[in-house]
Amino acid sequence: MEEKNLYDILGVKKDATQEEIKKAFRKLSLKYHPDRNADKSKEDQDAANKKFQEINLAYSILSDEQKRERYDITGTIEGAEHGAGGFGGFSGGSPFDDIASMFGGFGGFGGFGGGRGRQTRTIIPGKDLQIRLKVSIEELFNPVPRKIKYKKDIRCPECHGDGGTGKKQCPVCHGTGQETTVQKTAFGIMQQSHVCSRCHGVGYVVEKSCPHCNGSGFVTREVEKTVMFPKGVQDGQYVVYETEGCEAKKPGDPSGKLIVVAQYDFDTNKYEVRGADVIEKIFIPYEDCILGTKYQLHLPSGQDMSVNISKLTPPGKRLSLRNKGLTVQDQWGREITGNYIIEVNYQLPSSIGVDETAALEDIRDYHSKKK
C-alpha cells in the first residue's frame, strides 16, 4: 500500500479539489463495495475488497487537508498519519459516511476504531439494466423523445417476491443477509461484510418454492419508457434513469437503474463526429473542383446553406462553418458549440460521352502545346 500513490488510487490529479476527490471516492466506492461484488468469484471478491480498502485509505488522507499536506511533503502514508490518531481514527469523519446511505449503513466495519454497530439487514437494490439506443445524425442536433420497450424483473405477484412459502430465518446469516469475514491487515484486524451466500441477502429461506416464479421471487414484464438524449450526445455516452431498472426483491429496497447508451446510427463514411465538431464529406464533379461552384448544403440541423467552392480546390480540402456544429457541455457544465466542417472530394463520372471526350482532349492538347 505504501508504495502506491494515493492520487493514482483515486484517479485524480495532485491539484484536485476536495469536490473532485470526493466525487472520485464515491464512484470507486460504489464500484468496489463488497455488496456490489458478492456475485463474483472468490478471486474477484478478494481483489475488489483489497481495492476497496485502498480507496478508503486514500480518501481518509486526501480528504483531510492537514494529512494531505503532510502526505504531499513526505510522500508516505506514515508521514501523513503521524500525530493524527492513526488509521483507526475514523471517529466522526469516516469516509464511509459519504456513501453509507447508499447501502443503508455498512455495519460490518467495526474494526475501524469505535465501530458502527451491526447492520440489522442488508439493502439489496434491484439489478441495473443497460439498453443501447440508435441515434441518427439529425438527433444529435435536434433530440426528440423516444418511446422504448424493454423487459425487467418485477416482484412475483403470487409470492410478492418471497420466492415461496414457509419462510424461516437463514441459518447462515441469522436473518441479517450478511456474512462477516475477519481479515488481518497491516493496519490491524478488519471486519468486512458481504452478501450471504445461502439466502443471497434476503435473510430467510423458504420451505416450498413458488410455482409461479420457480422460487426466484421475480417474473419478467415488458414495460414502456420515454427517453431522450441531450444535444450533442457522443457515441457510447449514456443517460441514467433511477429506479427504472429491475425491482428489488424486498419491498422498500430501491429498484435498479435503467442505463440508456447512445449508439451512432448513420453513414460514418459521410459523417464523422469529433466532440462538438462534425465533419461531412461531400463529393462534387471534378470540373467544379477546377472551375469553382456554389454548393447547396443541407445540414443535419435542418438548415440549408450555400457554400462557395473556390477554383482549383484540391481533393480533401476542408472548409469550416463556424458555430454550426454540435452544442455540448464541457467538463464544467458550460455549453459550447463546435464547427461544421466540409471535406471537399471530387467525383469522377461513371462514363463520358463523345462531346465531353473531345473537350477533354482539346484541354490535354492545350496543355501539351504549353510545355
Least Cα distance to 58 among 34, 92, 27 occurs for: 27
Q: Give Cα 139 to chain centroid, integer Å.
A: 21
The answer regarding whether domain 1-114 maps to CATH 1.10.287.110 reads yes
> What average pLDDT does range 94-119 have in this prediction?
40
60-106 residue pLDDT tens: 889 988 888 877 877 777 767 654 333 333 333 444 444 444 443 33
pLDDT band at 344 (very low <50, low <70, confident <90, very high): very high
Q: Cβ distance 325 to 299 under 8 Å?
A: no
Beta strands in 252-323 (DSSP E): 258-264, 271-274, 277-285, 293-298, 304-309, 317-321
> What average pLDDT does range 261-281 have in this prediction?
95
Q: Which residues are registered as beta bridge partners of 345?
A: 283
- Cell of residue 182, nine digits: 475477519
Rounded to 5°, the CA angle 296-297-299 comes to 155
| Cα separation, 45 vs 42, whole angstroms | 5
274-330 residue pLDDT tens: 999 999 999 999 999 999 999 999 999 999 999 999 999 999 999 999 999 999 987
Is there a shared CATH topology between the 1-114 domain and the 271-370 domain? Answer: no
3-state secondary structure of 78: helix
Helix axes 65-74, 42-62, angle to 10 degrees: 100
Domain range annotation of the chain: 1-114, 124-154+220-265, 271-370
Residue 264, pLDDT score: 97
What residue type is assigned to position 107 of the chain? G
Q: CA 111 → CA 23, 180, 194, 323, distances in Å?
A: 25, 12, 15, 57
| Cα separation, 196 vs 212, whole angstroms | 25
Residue 188, pLDDT score: 65
Q: What CATH number matches the domain at 124-154+220-265, 3.20.20.210, 2.60.260.20, 3.40.50.80, 2.60.40.2230?
A: 2.60.260.20
pLDDT, mean over the chain: 84
Q: What CATH number matches the domain at 271-370, 3.40.50.10420, 2.40.128.130, 2.60.260.20, 3.40.1010.20?
A: 2.60.260.20
pTM of the model: 0.60
pLDDT band at 122 (very low <50, low <70, confident <90, very high): low
Q: Which residue has the higher pLDDT, 339 or 44?
A: 339
| Cα separation, 308 vs 18, whole angstroms | 51
> What average pLDDT does range 25-38 have in this prediction?
84
| Cα separation, 201 vs 180, whole angstroms | 12
Q: Give Cα 336 to chain centroid, integer Å.
A: 22
Lowest mean pLDDT among 72-76, 210-214, 355-359: 72-76
